[in-house]
Chain A
Amino acid sequence: MSGIILEVRDLVKHYPLRRTKLLESPGRVRALNGVSFAIARGESFGLVGESGCGKTTAGHTIIKLLEPTDGKIFFEGKDITTIKGERLKDLRRKIQIIFQDTAGSLNPRKTVKWILSEPLRAQGVRNRLEIERTIRESLELVDLDESFLDRYPHELSGGQKQRIGILGALILEPEFIIADEPVSALDVSIQAQILNLMKNLQKRLSLTYLFISHDLGVVHFFCDRIAVMYLGEIVEMAEATELYVNPCHPYTQSLLSAIPGENAASQRIILQGDAPDPTNPPQGCPFHPRCFKRMEICTHTRPRSVEVSKGHSVGCHLYP
């Protein structure tokens, strides 16, 4: 692995809420609250957390589908936080995204050929023959053949749709792929096919992945390093194996223990209550209302991220 391909520094994204009272200042959903990480070239970096923790917002902000409220994003050493126009278009050639809900992200009225040609046309390729050739040559990457080109999305199975979704992202030969829950809508046997396919593509095309998922089993299998998010913050970050063997943050511990079937039920840590409302996050550590190791300090002071061992950082008062 050589060098950092993407770095995110103190990324903040707040969504404004509609004002409900005339003189009250409008509330905000704090989807990202100072998220920082760096991804090395050729790596698979996992972002895990429960719904509403901000993992999808992070992905969308990096590919500039959303404007960050604050913070910086660097891609290949260049600041891409505020780029627009032609430079943004160039960037989109290098960073692509695979969506979770392929059924929803493929246009139901267009054929597979049209769907795959769209990114090329958007990047200014005008020659019909060239477009056609590129598509035909690339189909083999995802183990599909030319008979699929004239089909519509509803004629494809879930696994085939996701292959088309992946190919749509690959067709511009990007270097960096954001995969937002790429397998969570698929059945187990198909999920394994897609995960293997993505791994093989990574080796063949030297891709870097930002892999977003709520499924810890899948993330552990797929990723080299993992960041655990809770309420818009990264609470723990480490190499995949280290995180599983030695989880430090109480939230990571409870997440790992909650994977059904991997642990005996007696060792399970069952958290009380639901994740808090991101419009009104708790004071102090965001996790303290549900934490089973809560101390007095957690209720009023936000913990800082500290390195417990090389490459393993955690934001918790238990590790001063």
Chain B
Amino acid sequence: MERIISDRALLQVRDLNISFTTAKGDFPAVRGISFDVGRNSIVGLVGESGCGKSVTALAIMRLLPGNARLSGTIDFSGRNIVAMHEEEIRKLRGSEISMIFQEPLTSLNPLWKVGRQIDENLKMHTELKGDDRFQSVVDIMRDVGLPDPERLYHKYPHELSGGMRQRIAIAIAVACRPALIIADEPTTALDVTIQAQILQLLKDINREKGSSIIFISHNFGIIREICTSICVMYAGHLVEIAPTEKLFCEPRHPYTIGLMKAIPKTDSKGKELYDIPGKVPSITDTLPGCPFEPRCEYAFERCKRELPQFEVLGEQHESRCFLAGELR
């Protein structure tokens, strides 16, 4: 499958397959996905639980468990991450690519003061020493909006609120000014008003420091808020790629259309909410055709037998559906 490839893309994922080997056999979690992350962009990976979005993120960080098998290429500014040696990838992680996880309470070390956890990243990847390094940590903490950083430096994670912990996790991620930040559901564990603060912070980081962000979420509202373009995933496949407003105004895959209608909106009050019948196929199911066929209201005979290819609908807008051109 050929895709318009932009030369300036920071990250190019090509035909990525990931499967997990277990005692019960091989199970494919990600099935041949390709996408680009441009410089200075925020790309959303959206889909329901089990669609493969987090596994994709872990593959880019090369953090997959030992039983994962991987094929395809992940090209990060000219270097293929899939083929890198462990030494190389360790230098890359935290300095050029870094990650923010969903639940800061589990991703932070409970036994270390938060300042030291930020400091560790600088110690690993920079030449800074002593007071200079301390000063850098304090500056970074101030940058991510933590009040009174000199005092907070000496706190443990359990002494901070959820929003502050997530700011610490973000401080660790941005400490070395990475070119790419992967944020895996960074606001799911937070309240709405705190979520709004964190989204604003990530947007500021993108604008001021020029880091590209891959933003993973199941929430279309958040994705719309923050992303420049969106990749919709379903059952390990990429089903639609589009610039944000394009996707929301003219979704062209039945799954995307269904999800948009299923979200309660201000004008849906008093009406029956649209629901997509059935449920997401299990990772153990093998469907020869389109993965969404069993739940799709537009499905016809061909969808059962054959996996549709991407149809290019416009600039950077592609949908993997036989009817993509006709759906409105």
Instruction: Please report A residues at the B interface, Cβ cutoff 8 Å.
Output: 50-51, 157-159, 187-193, 195-196, 199, 214, 216-218, 220-222, 240-241, 244, 254-255, 258-262, 265, 268, 270-271, 274-275
Contacts and interface: CB of A to CB of B under 8 A. Distances in A.
Complex A-B, nearest 4 residue pairs according to Cβ-Cβ distance, in ascending order:
A261-B221, A221-B264, A260-B221, A50-B191
Nearest to B248: A261
Contact of B263 (A196, A217, A254): A217
Contact of A157 (B219, B258, B266, B279): B279
Contact of B192 (A187, A190, A216): A216
B1 to A, nearest CB: 26
Q: By DSSP majority rule, is chain B's interface helix, strand, loop, or mixed?
A: helix
Interface in B264-290: 264-266, 268-269, 272-276, 279-280
Given A193-B275, A261-B225, A188 B220 contact: yes
A255 B194 CA distance: 10
Contact of B164 (A189, A217, A265, A274): A274
B161 A274 contact: yes
A278 to B, nearest CB: 13
B266 A196 contact: no
A158 B48 CA distance: 12
A189 B276 contact: yes
Contacts of B269: 220-221, 240-241
Interface of B: 48-49, 161-164, 191-197, 199-200, 218-225, 258-259, 262-266, 268-269, 272-276, 279-280
A163 to B, nearest CB: 12
Contacts of A260: 195-196, 199, 219, 221-222, 224-225
14 contacts: A50-B192, A51-B191, A190-B279, A196-B273, A196-B275, A216-B192, A217-B265, A218-B264, A259-B192, A261-B225, A268-B196, A270-B193, A271-B197, A274-B161
Contacts of B258: 189
Contacts of B263: 188, 192, 217
A221 B264 CA distance: 6
Most interface-central of B222, B224, B266 (chain A CB within 10 A):
B266
Given A187-B218, A259-B221, A217 B196 contact: no
Contacts of A50: 191-194
Contacts of A195: 264, 273
Contacts of A240: 269
A261 B262 contact: no
Contacts of A244: 266
Contacts of B280: 187, 189
A104 to B, nearest CB: 17
A275 B190 CA distance: 12
B275 A192 contact: yes
B165 to A, nearest CB: 11
B9 to A, nearest CB: 26
A199 B263 CA distance: 16
A220 B266 contact: yes
Nearest to B295: A189
Given A188-B218, A258-B195, A274-B163, 6 more contacts: A187-B280, A221-B273, A259-B221, A261-B222, A261-B223, A262-B266
Contacts of B225: 260-261, 265
Contacts of A270: 193, 196-197, 200
Contacts of A271: 193, 196-197
Contact of A254 (B164, B193, B274): B193
Most interface-central of A193, A221, A262 (chain B CB within 10 A):
A221
Contact of B220 (A218, A222, A255, A261): A261
A164 to B, nearest CB: 15
A193 B262 CA distance: 9
Contacts of B197: 270-271
A218 to B, nearest CB: 5
A157 B273 CA distance: 21
Contacts of B276: 189, 192
Contacts of B163: 274
A159 B193 contact: no
A274 B191 CA distance: 10
A255 B195 CA distance: 11
